[in-house]
Each structure stands twice: as structure tokens, then as C-alpha cells.
Structure 1
Amino acid sequence: MKNKQISILGCGWLGLPLAKHFIAKNYTVKGSTTSAEKVETLKEVGIQPYVFTLGTTENDELLIDFFKNSDVIVINFPPKRVPNIEEIYQKQIQTILPFTNETQRVIFVSSTSVYQNTNDWVTEDQHNQPEKASGKAVFAVENLLKATLKNRLTILRFAGLFGYDRVPRRFLANKKDVANGKAPINMIHQDDCIGLIQAITDRNVWGEIINGCADEHPLREEFYTLAAKKIGLTPPKFKDTDEVSFKKIANMKSKELLDYSYQYPDPMVFVI
């Protein structure tokens, strides 16, 4: 029986360790990057490397080979922070769609930025009205992919990413008059991102939208104060006000549908 094959579009902070994880599971892994300098790094860990930039028709031959014979495709790159972010992100995704076929399954790594602040829990059934340009761009691509791929697609909406070299200890340190101190935060560890993607492929869960977020939601003020203190920086000073704007990401569907237990259920473990 041949090894399963996966194509990971975007081998950055999450994509590279995700590729390593699947290689350890005896998958054949194709990985893309926009930087020729990263090719050796990808090769060293056993990834078949591809270098291209989406949004043009100059990479057709590369894209054909990149997607060829893959059982699963992971779309894992965020929209660029540019003025016409929504238009460009959709164009990039539209570039790849002709090269997928009806036997392939697709995971789109999305973001909880698609949810507006409700000052309450939000679930996957939430009616979405993204507030920021990046959230609008991601939500537009979700809808594009759903219309095209239908039940071959599962969307994973990740909360704020952390883990290993991305622990927000310096974030907000030394700042004053910081707002929203009493707001709960939403975060997910890199290992849990990978665990959820693996669970989707193992259980063949397709045609779904799933939130990925740690169980616990410490207050912003508490988390970033302790984070700064842990490395000897001056903690941020938060505004003394009752005004707060937040959303609290519910993860029950990920646990029930995928039978998944979070490896890092409480982000506070990294700052205490």
C-alpha cells in the first residue's frame, strides 16, 4: 500500500512543523514556500520543496505537480497586510482551485478573526460580520472555497497562535493606558493546531467548520502582566475602566466531533 501524500501550501511557523509531523507518520509531503532561500531547510527535513508565488498564471506547471496525487491539501498562509487585502487573497486562492480534483480533500487554516466581538461566547454557527480587514479577507476566502469545494473542504478557525518561539512575553510590556484589560483572550498552541489537523485527516471529517482554541480564557490584563514579569520587563498598565469588548471562542465542537483533548488547555502555563 502506497504512503499517503499531503500538499502543504505555506511552510512557515505552522506549516513546517506540520510537515515534519506528517513525515513522521510516513506521509509523502510536498511543501511550498515563496523564498528560494528556504528550499534547503525544507529538503533537510524530508519535504519535497516547491517555490512559487500565487496570484499569477506563471506557475501552472509547478502547481500541477505540487497538487498531483495528494490525498489532502492544507491551505496555510495568511492574507498579506495590504490595502486591497480582500481582493488579493481571493485571487491567490482562485489561482490554485483549477489544479485540485474531486478526489482530494482540503483543509483551510482560517482564523477566529472572522467573528465580531459579541461580549459573549461564539460558536461555529455564529453569523459573522468581521470587523478588521484581515478577518474580512479570510471570511471571503472561506465562502469562495465552500462554494467551490463543498463537502471536500473543512475549515479550521484558529485563535491566537502561540508556542515555542512564539510566546507573547514582550507583547504590551512597558505600554500604558492599554484598553480591554478585563477581556478574556483566545489562544491555541502550535501542537494543538497540528493535533486538530491530524484528527481531521484520521477521522475523515469533511464539510465542517471547526474552531481551534484552548479551553481556558484568562483575562488579558492578568496574562500579559505575568508574561512581562516573567522575563523581567515592566508590565503594561491597563486603563481603569469597566468598558470591555471581546469574544470568547467556544471549542466544544472540536472536542466532540474529533474526540480531541487539548494538549495545552490553559495558556497561563507559559507565563506563571
Structure 2
Amino acid sequence: MSEEDDIESTKAPLIEHLIELRQRLMWSVLAIMIAFVVCFYFASDIFNILIIPYERAAGDQREIELIFTAPQEYFFTQLKLALFGALFLAFPVLASQLYMFVAPGLYKNERGAFLPYLVATPVLFAIGASLVFFVVMPLAMRFFLGMEQAGGLGVAEIKHLPKVSEYLGLVMTLIFAFGLVFQLPVVLTLLARAGLTDSNGLKAKRKYAVVLTFIAAAVLTPPDPISQIGLALPTLLLYEFSILSVKMVERKRAEAEAKADEAA
């Protein structure tokens, strides 16, 4: 059976596609709901894990203290944390449902090409999140803690007492920003496979990429040099890696076209 016949055999009326889409969405929502309940049950434990970068920055000689100023603040913080964690836990289900929905409309070689990018997406996101957890957050918190001022005669004491919601917001913002930026190789490689970009074009736009990278780092991260530089430098490295990845796609495409010409 040819690839065209393979796709033709999977064709279905629009109503059947809509029914299947509804089923995929229902499974995805159910996965998020189950993961949300699990994460909410362990919300305090997860939050304590997220405090580890703060503890590393403060050192063993300092007692860690976070506050909340409204009765409902920590509860809503736990809800946000549960939803954030649920999206992570449910991603394999979401990705598998997406793949099963679009796979029948793809050629066999396209399915094989699409699957690695689907797998690479959470891996790259996890690498970006790990960079935040182990490097950027400790450095940023050390920078912020360095602004404290010891009190004394005629000198006011300035002490860092972060709110639980603001600390979680900072961690979530950085994880989201780094995870999003680390998808750059996947996005550019897919665009190259679709013929919408090429390695020469990416090289020619390198200087614009540098400017846009630092603008994005300023927008996506807090206004401190540590987190901004920590996001900008990996992004530039990922851009260079994306050029290499696009070159590989172009090389494989050229080899496939050469084989097709020889067969003809």
C-alpha cells in the first residue's frame, strides 16, 4: 500500500473528526484534573522543593522566612502551584493525544519525523527548568539578598521577607521563560522542514537575533542582570545549535532528492 493510499484509508467525515477531537480533549482535561488533585495534595512539599534555591543562596547561617499578608494568599498560591505542576505531569498525555489525533493525516515518514520533536519538547523544557533551579535562581536570590542592610545607630534595618505568592510567581516566570526559550531548536528545525527558513537565512539574521534575545530576556525575566544574562546567553547558544540542526535537515533533504533523481 502506498503512502497516499495509507492516508486515504484514514479519511473520515468532519463530524467523526470533531467527535475524535472531543474525546482527545476530554482525556487531556481528565489527565490535568487528576494531576491537579495530586499536586494540590503535595503542594506544600512541592513549594518546599522550590525554596531550595533560596536556601542555597542564603546559606546555612540564615533562617529562611516567607510570609503571606492575606488569609487566602497561601491557599491561592497552592492552587497556582497545583495547576503549574499538573501541566507538567499531564504533558505526556497531552502530547500523546495530540499525536494520535494528527498522525492519521501524516505520511509514514512524516510521522517518524514528527515524533522526535514531540519527545524533545519536554526534554528541552526540563533542561531549561533545571538551569533555573540549579543556577539562575540561586544567583538571582544571592543578588537580591545582597541588597539587605544591617541596622545600627542611625541606620534602618532592611531585611528581605518575600511573600509566598511573589516568590512562586518569580520561580514560575523564570521556569516558563527558560522552558519556552529552550524550544527554539525545535521550532526552527520544524520551520526548516516546512521550507519556511534555512541555515543561510538564520546566519544572516544572527545580529537581529542577538538584539531580540536581550529584549526578550528583559521582558520575560525580573529586572535584574543575573536572570537576564542567564536567559540571554543560553538563548544565543541555542540559536547557534538551531543553525546546525537546520543544516542537518537541509543535508538530509538534499540526499533524499539526490536519491529520488537517481531512481528517476
Identify the TM-score tier after normalising by the shorter chain: under 0.3
Compare CA radii of gyration and give the structure with the larger one. 2
Higher relative contact order (CA 8 A, sep 6+): 2
Question: Could you say which structure has the higher strand fraction?
Answer: 1
TM-score (norm 1): 0.27
Q: Which has the larger helix fraction?
A: 2
TM-score (norm 2): 0.28
